[in-house]
Amino acid sequence: MKIKQLVDLKFDNRFINELPADQETINNRRQVFKACYSLVHPTKVSKPQLVAYSKEVATLLDLDTNTCESDEFTQTFVGNQLLADMVPYATCYGGHQFGHWAGQLGDGRAINLGEILNQQNQRWALQLKGAGPTPYSRTADGLAVLRSSVREFLCSEAMHHLGVPTTRALSLISTGEYVIRDMFYNGNPKAEPGAVVCRVAPSFTRFGHFQILAARGELDLLKKLINYTITTDFPHLGKPAPETYIAWFTEVCRTTAEMIVHWQRVGFVHGVMNTDNMSILGLTIDYGPYGWLENYDPGWTPNTTDAEQKRYRFGHQPQIAFWNLGQLANAIYPLIKKEQPLQDAMDSYSITFEKGWQTMMANKLGLHKFNPSTDDDLCAELLVILQLVETDMTLFYRQLAKIDCSQGLNDTQLESALHTLATIYYVPEQITSNYQERLKQWLKMYGQRIQSDQRSHTERFNQMNTVNPLYVLRNYLAQLAIDKAEQGDYSGVHELLDVLRHPYTEQDGKDPFSAKRPDWARQRAGCSMLSCSS
């Protein structure tokens, strides 16, 4: 049964009820010690307007359509009014940013409204992003602009429909006010429309929540937080104790590895894999300067801040996740005081990732299962070939699925295969005869591998198209929706959200959403690289 009034939401608020609060109640920037959160109210705005909401997330929260389209909904999820059981707060955490310890960070522009229990007794935390300053905002204003909010809202839902573990987004609401931002930190600030996103997840706890307590030597509070986390978010692990902590960390390693495999599968690049942007639930969190690979380039990062170092480039994401888990291991070590169990858990990350990657590649190529004796070389050569010329990664696998390899490929069929793949390249003049010969050799090897599986073309085609998306949130598509939204036209957001609900199914009349990046978008701001302001 759907809830027709927001007042009927059942708030549990276990986080603030079971963990210690900051004793200071004035909302000024400061270091917060011996506390997991600070109470803080959202900043009221002048003229909020609902831009979009996710009907799927509304269903998770038992909300009906009329409720989501009501003024009460807009006023509540922009932060203008609080429901009776809402006790808003911002949490304290630290983290490594670009490999360096940054000390206290915290919810600088996120304000939690509390946790609810839906009718299935599932716990969902509600969090506003861009609702004003908190004690953790440092020198920032705690606000968000419409362009970054559109990107966060759309990507949260796009990733869910792709099957990638992620936090969700309930709503996107414009504030009717302007926010000053220097998009590329190059001395060109301008006023942009403001907005607030309501994010939803079972928990927003990050690696950094544990790191800050360990760094400060607040070990009693560290123990209290890990006990709370296990009891609330990992009850299946049993009563908190040192051995349970190890089991918990092992599970965090496993789910993190599974998440990264999904990122690599769909070509997603997070852009800011700092430890404070890592969820203990193995969920993708914090959609800032993210991007999807257009041409396959393991060295690409969408983040201008990372353009030189490229720490968070696509091909380095598995190693960064491993490094980040090492920092979490360091944080909880004082509660375990044994290195080997933590090392064993870290090893489980590597094992899970390798097996997951092999299964993922087998599925992407339509193989029955991964056979290292043949498929290590097959995949290694493919990943080299994809880099030789600018090849659209998303479209490559979709076009490959169309090639009937069930009986292998003869010379005539190889020429036909090259024709099928001709549409996926960004610079046609790069397609030399040497490249074509190397690609044909790979296709011939691939055809033999498919033939050995004795799979029909239809079976392989269907398998490949359930793991290789046709529609992804390319940066230029998001920017086109943003351009309209900044003029008060939200139709682009709605249409893109609707298309991304079914990323694996070809949709009539939606060819522009599956097209490779146009030339005009190659260097345009917002369509290629983005800053942390994005």
pLDDT in 10s for each residue of the chain, 534 residues? 788 899 999 999 999 999 999 999 999 999 999 999 999 999 999 999 999 999 999 999 999 999 999 999 999 999 999 999 999 999 999 999 999 999 999 999 999 999 999 999 999 999 999 999 999 999 999 999 999 999 999 999 999 999 999 999 999 999 999 999 887 667 778 999 999 999 999 999 999 999 999 999 999 999 999 999 999 999 999 999 999 999 999 999 999 999 999 999 999 999 999 999 999 999 999 999 999 999 999 999 999 999 999 999 999 999 999 999 999 999 999 999 999 999 999 999 999 999 999 999 999 999 999 999 999 999 999 999 999 999 999 999 999 999 999 999 999 999 999 999 999 999 999 999 999 999 999 999 999 999 999 989 999 999 999 999 999 999 999 999 999 999 999 999 999 999 999 999 999 999 999 999 999 998 888 887 676 654
276 flagged as catalytic: yes
* Amino acid sitting at position 354: E
E-only strand ranges, 19-77? 37-39, 49-53
Q: What are phi and psi of 519, to 5 degrees?
A: -60, -35
Q: How many CA atoms lie within 13 A of 182 on its CB side?
A: 6
Question: What pLDDT, on the 0 to 100 scale, is given for residue 184?
Answer: 67
* Amino acid sitting at position 164: V
Q: How many CA atoms lie within 13 A of 461 on its CB side?
A: 10
What is the residue extent of each domain of the chain? 6-205, 208-363, 367-454
What is the C-alpha to C-alpha distance for residues 135 and 36, in angstroms, rounded to an integer? 12
Q: How is residue 67 annotated by DSSP?
A: H
CB 336 within 8 A of CB 242: yes
Radius of gyration of the chain (CA): 24
Residue 156's alpha-carbon distances to 150, 161, 167, 250, 412, in angstroms, are 10, 9, 6, 26, 44
The burial class, CB within 10 Å (0-12 / 13-18 / 19+), for 235 is exposed
pTM tops 0.75 = yes
Question: What pLDDT, on the 0 to 100 scale, is given for residue 530?
Answer: 75
Question: Which of 22, 107, 276, 306 is the catalytic position?
Answer: 276
The continuous run of DSSP H or E covering 114 comes out as: strand 110-117
Report the first-to-last Cα separation within the chain, whole angstroms: 38
Question: What pLDDT, on the 0 to 100 scale, is given for residue 93?
Answer: 98
